[in-house]
Amino acid sequence: MHRTRPLVHPHHALAAAAIAALHLGAAAQQAAAPAAAASAPAAGQLQVVTVTAERRLENIQDVPNSISTLGGEALDVINTSGQDVRELSGRVPSLNIESSFGRAFPRFYIRGYGNTDFRLNASQPVSLVYDDVVQENPILKGFPLFDLARIEVLRGPQGTLFGRNTPAGVVKFDSVRPTHKFEGYGSLSVGTYRTVNAEGAVNVPLNPDTALRVSLLNQTRDNWVHNTYAPGPTRNLEGYRDSAMRTQLLWDGSRDLSVLANVHARDYKGSARLFRANIIQPGTNNLVPGFDPAAVSYDGANTSKVQNYGANLRVRVGLQGMALYSVTGYETVKTYSRGDIDGGYGAAFLGPGNFGPGFIPFSSETADGMRDHGQFTQEFRLESTTAGPLGWQAGLFYFHEDYKIESFSYNSLSPGNPQNGYERVRQKNDAYAVFGAVDYALTPLFKLRAGLRYSKDKKNFGVEAYNSSGFGTPPDLAALAAGGPISAAPSDNKVNWDLSGTYTVAPGVNLYARAATGFRASSVQGAGFFNGQSVARPENNTSVEAGVKAELLDRRVRVAFDVYHYEVKDLQLTAVGGAANSNILLNARKARGQGAELDLQAYLTDNLLATLGWGYNDTRIQDPGLAVSVCAACTVTNPLNAAGKALIDGNPLPQAPKNTLSFTAKYTVPTSIGDFYAYTDWVYRSEVNFFLYKSIEFTGKPLTEGGLRLGYTWDNGKYDFAVFGRNITNQIRIVGGIDFNNLTGFINDPRTYGVQFKATF
């Protein structure tokens, strides 16, 4: 029998008790150590937004770069219902995030430019930087969001000041730093499917020079999808437990020296992505009639695990007229994800009645794991600190990563689902860079910036072990029998640059223009159960953009608008699945993207704050001879060559919506003892291609998701109680597919709702 859990897990109860105790301690200290009141904007006036997009703290209005930020209430809303990093998708213009692994492996796209590769050594052109440390491996990019000061999304190439694979842009997470006062918060929400989100932080000054901040998160959800195939080894799915912690210790007892140490960890266990066989009506991109999100029929097992540990040390040393920064980081992650890839049970060759739902030509049950991983990074950066028209920074960067990936296949048709295939590969990656940037005020109104970076990147990739009783041995792996391994060792170097300028046309109104280049090093995918080894050459992006940033009506309105164009030469693409059932890398001669973006925040009245974000992205692959394998069962709309492959010249990039739109509004009703409020948020993206070729069935429909939050705050905002709903219209869409077997797809989350209480001290 399925055993239900108590509504509040003991871990959550302990966390709530600890938060309450900390709150009482804070109340006792308030008289002895009153906090200095932070300067706040007047009613109906927007707060000043500061960012570190150029590696130093600046007003966002002064930075000649297309940047959006998220923080405060927007992040609280995302975490309240147990969402993960994918919920950031569409929250700012031109950002899309999707995954075929669920919570474990997010794939980022900016301005339509990303990578659909699902292998654990895949590189992405969007870099994730968490507390100044690059998170290169895609599993590292799924670290949960909690106790963050802000998220910055930098659109366009960032190849000068950031260290790894940034031709499309950077998503930058900054944790709340320790402070020298006793403070913190605790939040507990309970919702649909017994979803519980418990998070909190406590900040403790240990002495006048030292402060400690401890942040905790625990998200859980019960299984809500039932496996209707009785012999299936996994009976209930889509539940999870995602726990994370961060401990920071700050010492800044000297004007010329500060040290911030950070230790963090994540432990996740839950379901892998649920692939659902034949949920797409042939000849359409509609769900089949009677589709039930709460049911699957699997003869394969399903599980997903991630353990991530890391630490970093950030040091600032004040020197004569300059400051030296050192950022040292180490990350390690272990993961294992197993799923029923064909999305159903049985196989057609077993005869009628022995397969379903729909047509299952053959079974496919696979897993990927990473048991040995280590990433080390070191950066030294000098920055000028003197006043005057000239500023500069320069630095050195080193990156090293070494890991082993295991791939498994299983026989779903035999009792116990025995393993019938195994492969182990190892990849080592070393990268070095030297960089510099200058900014100069030609006049008080006109400022120029320029940057230069030289990068060298080398990979060593090898297949260490392979056996497969189920699929045979691809030609590239035959050499393993003669002593192998199969290997590749690409080495690349590149000089990147950027040049930008800002002109103040009126108080609070800046025009800017920027040209920049970006670089992604060669990628390798080893021979697998169905395909040989493939290597993609390095890709290079050149981008230009121009825009305006303005604060208007006594800072009641803030607007940023830009237009851009980019061209990527030797674009790395991943041809996934298809009738050949392969996953290979290839290069397109080039691709281009162009569009516009709008970011708007405005107080419509003193009590009504609204935001609007819009991104228009027109992308095209430009390579007349480029052809890829097509699906096994869908309706392809591209022309085919003599080999039956689709010619994809002119196609948009995969997972690249032409339009993204976000909207939020908060209306507050003040009273003598507290404030009532209503908050709503909406995200829209237009249709997307799931794969490189065009087809009717594997075109994702437009998706609109909305949220609503009704709440009450009191005691000067220290306490907040709210009821909330996510995806309130319950719009269910196919958001990705598997194309080698049948019309298999996976979907977004259905509607959820719940309550939350948050206390700040």
Those residues whose C-beta lies under 8 Å from the C-beta of residue 164, and which sit 6 or more positions away, are 127, 134, 136, 399, 431
Cis peptide before 357 (omega within 30 of 0): yes
CA distance 140 to 171: 13
| pLDDT class of 29 with cuts at 50, 70, 90 | very low
pLDDT of residue 40: 65
| Average pLDDT value for the chain | 91
Which structure tokens are listed for 717?
Answer: 């905002």
Which structure tokens are listed for 342?
Answer: 């064909």
pLDDT of residue 341: 94
pLDDT of residue 329: 98
Which structure tokens are listed for 121?
Answer: 């050594």
Residue by residue, DSSP assigns 678-738 as EEEEEEEE--EESSSS-BSTTEEPPEEEEEEEEEEEETTTTEEEEEEEESTT----EEEEE
Question: Between 487 and 97, whose confidence is greater?
Answer: 97
pLDDT of residue 468: 78
Q: What is the mean pLDDT of residues 586-610?
A: 96
Q: What is the mean pLDDT of residues 527-553?
A: 89
Give yes or no for a contact between 187 and 215, defined as CB atoms under 8 angstroms apart. no
Nearest to 457 by CA among 500, 399, 514, 525: 399
Amino acid at 180: H
Cis peptide before 93 (omega within 30 of 0): no
Residue 696, judged by CB atoms within 10 A of its CB (0-12, 13-18, 19+), counts as middle
| pLDDT class of 528 with cuts at 50, 70, 90 | low
Enumerate the domain spans of the chain.
10-29+53-300+319-760
- Of 41-55, 278-292, 558-572, 735-749, least confident by mean pLDDT is 41-55
Q: What is the mean pLDDT of residues 598-620?
A: 97
Give the pLDDT confidence of 313-353 residue by residue, as tens digits. Answer: 999 999 999 999 999 999 999 999 999 999 999 999 999 99
pLDDT tops 80 at residue 138: yes
pLDDT tops 60 at residue 132: yes
Nearest to 546 by CA among 592, 591, 595, 506: 595
pLDDT tops 80 at residue 542: yes
pLDDT of residue 466: 85
User: To which residue do tokens 């999100």 refer?
Assistant: 293
Q: What is the mean pLDDT of residues 247-261?
A: 96
Give the pLDDT confidence of 573-594 residue by residue, as tens digits. Answer: 998 877 666 678 999 999 999 9
Question: Between 474 and 145, whose confidence is greater?
Answer: 145
Residue 31, judged by CB atoms within 10 A of its CB (0-12, 13-18, 19+), counts as exposed
CA distance 172 to 714: 32
Nearest to 341 by CA among 364, 324, 321: 364
Which structure tokens are listed for 419?
Answer: 């393993």
Please state, for a pLDDT cut of 70, what percent of the chain lies above it.
Answer: 91
The class (CATH top level) of 10-29+53-300+319-760 is mainly beta
Q: What is the mean pLDDT of residues 535-555?
A: 96
Give yes or no for a contact between 344 and 357, defined as CB atoms under 8 angstroms apart. yes
pLDDT of residue 188: 96
Quickly count: other Cβ atoms within 10 Å of residue 301's Cβ.
17
pLDDT tops 80 at residue 13: no
Phi-psi region of 615 (alpha: psi -120 to 50; beta: other; left: phi over 0): beta
pLDDT of residue 32: 34
pLDDT tops 90 at residue 688: yes
Give the pLDDT confidence of 381-392 residue by residue, as tens digits. Answer: 999 999 999 999
Q: What is the mean pLDDT of residues 263-285?
A: 97
| pLDDT class of 7 with cuts at 50, 70, 90 | very low
Question: Between 279 and 470, whose confidence is greater?
Answer: 279
Q: What is the mean pLDDT of residues 205-232?
A: 96
Nearest to 522 by CA among 489, 477, 497, 545: 489
Q: How many CA atoms lie within 13 A of 352 on its CB side?
A: 0
- b/e burial code for range 554-573 (CB count within 10 A of at least 16 → b): ebbbbbbbbebebbbbbbbb
pLDDT of residue 5: 41
CA distance 522 to 79: 36
Nearest to 197 by CA among 163, 229, 243, 231: 243
Q: For residues 91, 97, 101 and 103, what is the CA-based torsion angle, rounded to 10 degrees?
A: -30
pLDDT of residue 4: 38
- Of 64-78, 419-433, 501-515, 740-754, least confident by mean pLDDT is 64-78
Give yes or no for a contact between 147 and 201, defined as CB atoms under 8 angstroms apart. yes
Give yes or no for a contact between 261 and 311, defined as CB atoms under 8 angstroms apart. yes
CA distance 303 to 646: 34
pLDDT of residue 25: 37
Those residues whose C-beta lies under 8 Å from the C-beta of residue 646, and which sit 6 or more positions away, are 627, 628, 629, 630, 636, 638, 639, 640, 692, 693, 694
CA distance 274 to 292: 13
pLDDT tops 50 at residue 18: no
CA distances from 599 to 52, 201, 543, 660, 661 (A): 18, 31, 20, 12, 10
Give the pLDDT confidence of 622-681 residue by residue, as tens digits. Answer: 999 999 999 989 999 999 999 999 999 999 999 999 999 999 999 999 999 999 999 999
- Of 8-17, 78-87, 391-400, 454-463, least confident by mean pLDDT is 8-17
CA distances from 188 to 12, 21, 142, 666, 713 (A): 8, 15, 22, 22, 15
The three-state DSSP-derived secondary structure of 262-284 is EEEEEEEEECCCCCECCCECCCC
Q: What is the pTM of this model?
A: 0.91
- The secondary structure element, H or E, covering residue 29 is helix 10-29
Question: Between 656 and 4, whose confidence is greater?
Answer: 656
Strand-pairing partners, residue 506, are 509
CA distance 158 to 497: 9
